[in-house]
């Protein structure tokens, strides 16, 4: 009995101690409550005091950037239109241009350009390089297309640079090379022991062979490219005519553009790049970024420029920029098209876009002062390279597209006193979109709205890559080979919403999607504008990218 009484007494003491502790906590909270309220109130007042000037400054900055972007689009569009008009007038002249010589054997035309020696010795030696890495799906297509090029057999060398890590694939590629070699084609199979330098290192190793140094011109095709037989006949004469010409770049066309919505939207963006950006750069100052494939280089220009460099993931642009600073010129030939493949999965496309955005940013950082100090380049060309090619087209355009539409407009809803002019919010984006749509195929005009939302959403991913490149962060030199599917007729299925559990989530895209969704709903319920008409479709696209609901996956 005594023991039971002690237990009751201990329990009572604990209860009283607990009540005392709870009372003490409540007393402290009550005593601090006015202080906390005051601090929070002061913080909110400070934020409301600073937010409006900050947002006003951001609006001013975006106004300046939007004018820069619009001016760049108008300028490039005008130049490319004038170049196309001039070229079309030349074609109409009787007996002039390629149209007057159709039906003639390309070898005969090359013989004329080479001096009419009547034999293969009059033709320059051409090296065709095909770098590849575990390309099981496309190696036959690229090697076969290169071996079918119309050119004297004793003046053409096809070099297959195989960096594959899969032994079975290496044997397949080697066997394919041996098959074409037995048909009389000079095919050289080259494999390295490591992948140092990735594509740049692979191409550099290929140029070290004695037979490669005997070639005057070098044509480069990625593993998914299929040049037409007359490709060399259409490009090499341009290099023969002009000794100052270092590069002839041709246009890409895509065998799988109709595979899914993702590839259709990529085609729309790439068509603008080739029809406007590349054409304008070629016409203005004989400079543009080498696309890394479907181009023919003068070997002398490669060697004088220092060869391939793997310091960035934009080794193609790096070489082109160094060659341009030495005074070499480039020409873009849009009439010559080479079949290639677009990434059909969102994962592959994101990796490609990271490389294409991060590499140029890092290259710009490394070569900025070198560009300004170049003695062989005019001030006009330096201005074009620094301002138009790098700053306006890549950095400012990407930042404005992401920040203005995804961050600034939703933030403005909370502070209606911040005003954005109608020309900034409506007219400039509308005109810019129309200018971007110049290169869009007519069959894709109905996809303009999803394409706009897709490009706006991808601006977040690209801008993140640009920051990584400018600050040389951890992924600055990340190189992931874009996966290729090969046969377009292969059975594919769309990624359904249920498959997202197997995919990786993209947190930033999901966060931006949620922000736009909330902002759009708020504007619809309480706003006085029509921001929700943009915010809600844009939020859907962010969610589709965040959950990887775009693209296709190959059936097993």
> What residues act catalytically?
163, 316
| CB atoms inside a 10 Å sphere around CB 157 | 21
CA distance 91 to 333: 14
Residue 286 has φ and ψ, to the nearest 5°, of: 55, 40
Secondary structure (3-state) at 36: helix
What count of other Cβ atoms lies within 10 Å of the Cβ of residue 424? Answer: 17
DSSP bridge partners of 226? 339
Residue 402 neighbours by CB distance under 10 Å: 21
Half-sphere exposure of 30 (CA within 13 A, CB side): 6
Strand (E) or helix (H) holding 337? strand 329-340
245-254/126-132 β-pairing:
unpaired
**How far apart, in Å, are the Cα atoms of 438 and each of 5, 337, 432, 469?**
92, 19, 10, 30
β-partners of residue 332 are 249
> Helix, strand or coil for residue 118?
coil
- Cα separation of 117 and 103, whole Å? 21
- Parallel, antiparallel, or unpaired: how do β-strands 295-298 and 217-220 relate? antiparallel
d(C-alpha 371, C-alpha 325), whole Å: 7
Grouping H, G, I as helix, E, B as strand and the rest as coil, residue 224 is coil
- Assigned token pair, 180: 């074409």
Helix pair 448-470, 261-272: axis angle to 10 deg: 70
Q: Is 68 helix (H, G, I), strand (E, B) or coil?
A: helix
H-only helix segments in 93-227: 106-113, 139-147, 167-181, 198-207, 210-213
Map tokens 């993931």 to a residue: 313
The residues with which 90 forms a beta bridge, in sequence order, are none
Label residue 45 exposed, middle or buried (CB < 10 Å: 0-12, 13-18, 19+).
exposed
> b/e for 84-119, b at 16 or more Cβ within 10 A?
eeeeeeeeeeeeeeeeeeeeeebbebbbebbeeeee
Distance CA 10, CA 419 (A): 68
Structure tokens at 480: 């992931």
| Residues 187, 177 contacting (CB under 8 angstroms) | yes
Nearest to 74 by CA among 425, 434, 379, 382: 434
CA angle 341, 269, 248 (to 5 degrees): 65
């Amino acid at each position: 009995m005594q023991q039971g009484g002690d237990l009751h007494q201990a329990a009572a003491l604990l209860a009283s101690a607990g009540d005392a502790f709870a009372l003490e906590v409540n007393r402290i909270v009550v005593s601090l409550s006015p202080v906390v309220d005051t601090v929070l109130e002061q913080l909110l007042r400070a934020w409301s005091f600073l937010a409006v000037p900050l947002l006003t400054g951001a609006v001013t900055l975006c106004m300046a950037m939007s004018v820069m972007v619009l001016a760049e689009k108008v300028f490039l569009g005008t130049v490319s239109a004038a170049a196309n008009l001039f070229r079309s007038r030349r074609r109409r002249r009787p007996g002039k241009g390629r149209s007057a010589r159709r039906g003639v054997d390309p070898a005969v035309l090359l013989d004329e350009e080479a001096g009419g020696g009547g034999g293969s010795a009059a033709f320059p030696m051409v090296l065709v390089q095909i770098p590849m890495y575990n390309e099981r799906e496309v190696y036959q297509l690229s090697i076969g297309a290169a071996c079918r090029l119309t050119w004297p057999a004793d003046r053409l060398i096809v070099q297959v640079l195989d960096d594959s890590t899969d032994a079975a694939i290496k044997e397949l590629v080697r066997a394919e090379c041996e098959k074409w070699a037995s048909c009389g084609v000079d095919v050289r199979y080259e494999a390295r022991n490591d992948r140092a330098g990735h594509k740049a290192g692979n191409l550099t190793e290929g140029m070290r062979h004695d037979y490669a140094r005997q070639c005057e011109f070098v044509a480069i095709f990625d593993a998914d490219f299929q040049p037409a037989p007359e490709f060399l006949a259409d490009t090499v004469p341009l290099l023969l005519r002009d000794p100052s010409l270092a590069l002839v770049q041709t246009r890409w066309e895509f065998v799988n553009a109709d595979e899914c919505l993702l590839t259709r939207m990529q085609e729309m963006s790439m068509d603008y790049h080739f029809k406007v950006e590349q054409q304008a750069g070629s016409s203005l100052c004989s400079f543009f970024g080498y696309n890394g494939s479907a181009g023919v280089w003068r070997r002398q220009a490669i060697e004088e420029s220092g060869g391939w460099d793997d310091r960035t993931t934009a080794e193609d642009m790096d070489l082109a920029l160094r060659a341009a600073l030495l005074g070499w010129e480039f020409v873009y030939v849009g009439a010559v098209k080479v079949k290639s493949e677009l990434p059909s999965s969102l994962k592959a496309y994101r990796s490609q876009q990271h490389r294409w955005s991060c590499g140029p940013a890092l290259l710009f950082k490394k070569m900025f002062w070198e560009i300004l100090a170049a003695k062989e380049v005019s001030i006009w060309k330096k201005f074009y390279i620094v301002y138009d090619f790098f700053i306006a087209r890549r950095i400012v355009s990407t930042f404005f597209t992401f920040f203005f539409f995804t961050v600034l407009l939703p933030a403005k809803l909370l502070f209606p006193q911040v005003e954005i002019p109608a020309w900034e919010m409506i007219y400039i984006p509308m005109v810019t979109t129309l200018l971007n749509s110049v290169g869009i195929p007519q069959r894709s005009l109905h996809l303009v709205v999803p394409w706009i939302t897709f490009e706006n959403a991808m601006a977040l991913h690209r801008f993140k890559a640009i920051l990584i490149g400018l600050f040389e962060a951890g992924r600055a030199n990340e190189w992931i080979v874009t996966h290729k599917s090969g046969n377009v007729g292969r059975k594919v299925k769309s990624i359904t919403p249920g498959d997202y559990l197997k995919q990786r989530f993209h947190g930033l895209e999901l966060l931006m999607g949620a922000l736009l969704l909330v902002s759009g709903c708020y504007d619809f319920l309480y706003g006085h504008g029509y921001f929700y008409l943009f915010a809600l479709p844009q939020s859907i696209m962010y969610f589709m990218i965040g959950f990887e609901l775009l693209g296709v996956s190959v059936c097993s």
